[in-house]
Amino acid sequence: MLDIQNIRADFPILSREVYRRPLVYLDNAATAQKPRCVVDAMTEEYFNANANVHRGVHFLSQQATDLHEQARETVRRFINARSTAEVIFTRGTTESINLVASSFGQAFMAEGDEVIITEMEHHSNIVPWQLLRERAGIKIKVCPITDDGRLDIEALVSLFTSATRLVSVTAVSNVLGTVNPLKEIIAIAHAHDVPVLVDAAQAAAHAPIDVQALDCDFLALSGHKVYGPTGIGVLYGREALLEQMPPYMGGGEMIGKVTFEHTTYNELPYKFEAGTPDYIATTGLARAIDYVSDLGFDAIQAHERDLTAYALRQLAEIPEMRIFGPADAAVHDPVISFLVGQIHHLDLGTLLDRLGIAVRTGHHCAEPLMHRLGIEGTVRASFALYNTRDEVDALCAAIRRVATMF
Ligand SMILES: Cc1ncc(COP(=O)(O)O)c(C=O)c1O
């Protein structure tokens, strides 16, 4: 069991007020709040160990490099990669997917080749493939969802052809909360010799990730959604694939030898890390991972599943409530999208804000999914390990109050 009150004390922002009301922060799918230890670790490095990494012979540079490479090892353990060569630091999920689209695209995809994505993808797992389509003439195939917001696995199976080169799929929908059956999807793809990229942006804070058990080929995540700092993320890639892929960006760090005629590239993972990395953020990310790991995913999942099931039940009792996504809490991560009657999502979100409740409104960077659902947007409440049933009650009471105003 998590000691939620103690945990909340680790997150200074949770005790602030907005509009003279206690903040109820339910926008965790957009970004999670940061425990003090994460910010402290970054401040400590700035004040005591700041120097550019990998470049200096001096003491501080060595210390900063050690911290940075220890962070890589922390990430490796967190996702159970075989080696730190497979752990590339990026700015976040978006950059990780763009890296794969660009570099894997260049190495393995030509005109007419196909990538399979799904109807529930975030724009960051749609647009990079459209850019590749413009550059290289690839085709994008889209796996549909069922009416209750799950992937249509039969339809997925029928999308494979001899031209399929990659499946790129989210682990969890940032709108519907749907937890996708990754192992099944990956097994289907591998039966066709097709690698799979997993967008774990929404998954990483809520369940353990084991890239070896999943057998995925790429996996992308963002530090800021796992209680870490902004501007840092991870791309996991299978070493054999990464070895065959060209660099994504050129510059310092990613080179072996440079002459005006010819440049050789550094070994993995540095081949994909041009320029000064955000080594302060990698320290913060490692501290965030330690924080989550110390609490343990068993306890986090038990708490968040209880909260999700409770919220689904309580919300469903509100008149004219429409919840999007699976009704089954077992396949529903703590992300709940809804609409109430004819109230516009923006109005509802704005009025909830005035009552101290921070939710997100709009298309959530998933416009094609909104088209599929036949709506413009939703209100989205998303929970983290520090949220409570009292906050779910506060949300429901506030929704009822707003509804009476319409
Ligand atoms: C499913 C999913 N994929 C990708 C992203 C993009 O993450 P970032 O903006 O951190 O790169 C998000 C962010 O909300 C997301 O929810």
Amino acid at the residue 81:
A
Q: Whose CA is nearest to atom 14 of ligand 1?
A: 30
- What percent of the chain has pLDDT above 70? 100
For CA atoms 250, 255, 258, 264, give the dihedral sign: negative
369: tokens are 């999914």
What confidence score (pLDDT) does residue 329 get?
83
Q: How many CA atoms lie within 13 A of 70 on its CB side?
A: 12
DSSP for residue 332: B
Bridge partners for 24 per DSSP: 357
Domain CATH number, residue 110: 3.40.640.10
Look at residue 33 and tell me if it is in a domain. no
Is residue 289 located within the same domain as residue 300?
no
Q: Do 199 and 336 reside in the same domain of the chain?
A: no
Closest residue to atom 7 of ligand 1, CA basis: 93
Whether residue 328 is predicted with pLDDT greater than 90 in this model: the reply is: no
pLDDT of residue 358: 98
Closest-lying ligand 1 atom to the alpha carbon of residue 171: 1
Based on the fold, state whether residues 205 and 74 are members of the same structural domain: yes
Q: Tell me, what amino acid is at 93?
A: T
In a domain, 22, yes or no: yes
201 lines ligand 1 (CB under 6 A): yes
Q: Is residue 364 part of a domain?
A: yes
Cα–Cα–Cα angle for 301, 122, 319, nearest 5°?
A: 65
- For residue 179, being part of any structural domain is answered with yes
169-194 confidence digits (pLDDT tens): 999 999 999 999 999 999 999 999 99
Asked, for residue 34, whether it belongs to a domain, the answer is no
Nearest atom, ligand 1, residue 124 CA: 4
93 in contact with ligand 1, CB cutoff 6 A: yes
Specify if 324 maps to a domain.
yes
* 74 contacts 289 by C-beta, under 8 angstroms: yes
Q: Is the pLDDT of residue 327 over 90?
A: no
Same domain, yes or no: 92 and 232 = yes
Candidate of 124, 333, 382 to mutate for ligand 1, largest count of ligand atoms within 8 Å of Cβ: 124
Q: Do 216 and 83 sit in the same domain of this protein?
A: yes
340 and 398 fall within a common domain: yes
Mean pLDDT of the 380-398 span: 98
pLDDT in tens, 2-14: 999 999 999 999 9
What are the pLDDT digits (tens) for 124-160? 999 999 999 999 999 999 999 999 999 999 999 999 9
Residue 254 has pLDDT above 90, yes or no: yes
Residue pLDDT, tens place only, 82-118: 999 999 999 999 999 999 999 999 999 999 999 999 9
**How far, in Å, is the centroid of ligand 1 from the Cα of 124?**
7
- Taking only the tens place, the pLDDT of each residue in 260-299 is 999 999 999 999 999 999 999 999 999 999 999 999 999 9
Examine residue 399 and state whether it is found in any structural domain, yes or no.
yes
**339 lies in the same domain as 232:** no
Cβ within 8 Å of residue 57, ≥6 positions away = none
Q: 244 with 368, same domain?
A: no
Same domain membership, residue 200 and residue 92? yes
Do residues 215 and 358 both lie within one domain? no
Domain finish residue from 293, 312, 331? 293
**Residue 337 belongs to domain spanning:** 4-28+296-405
Same domain as 258, residue 338 = no
Ligand 1 centre to CA of 94 (Å) is 6
Phi, psi of 396 (to 5 degrees): -65, -40
Active site residue 37: no
Distance between CA atoms of 378 and 399, rounded to whole angstroms? 14
Are 204 and 225 spatial neighbours (Cβ–Cβ below 8 Å)?
yes
What is the count of structural domains for the chain?
2
Instruction: Establish if 229 belongs to a structural domain.
Output: yes
Burial (0-12, 13-18, 19+ Cβ within 10 Å), 335: buried
Strand spans (E) along 3-92: 17-18, 21-22, 24-25, 87-90
pLDDT of 330 higher than 90: no
Put simply, whether the predicted model's pTM sits higher than 0.85 gets the answer yes
pLDDT, mean over the chain: 97
Domain boundary, last residue among 245, 275, 293: 293
Beta bridge partners of 145: 151
- Euclidean distance between CA atoms 230 and 90, whole angstroms: 11
Average pLDDT over residues 375-389: 98
Distance, in Å, from the CA atom of 211 to the CA atom of 81, rounded to the nearest integer, reads 6
DSSP state of 148: T
**CATH number of the domain enclosing 321:** 3.90.1150.10
Burial class (CB in 10 A: 0-12, 13-18, 19+), 117: buried
- Domain's final residue, options 244, 263, 293: 293
Is the backbone peptide bond immediately before 269 cis, with ω within 30 degrees of 0?
A: yes
Interatomic CA distance for residues 164 and 219, integer angstroms? 19
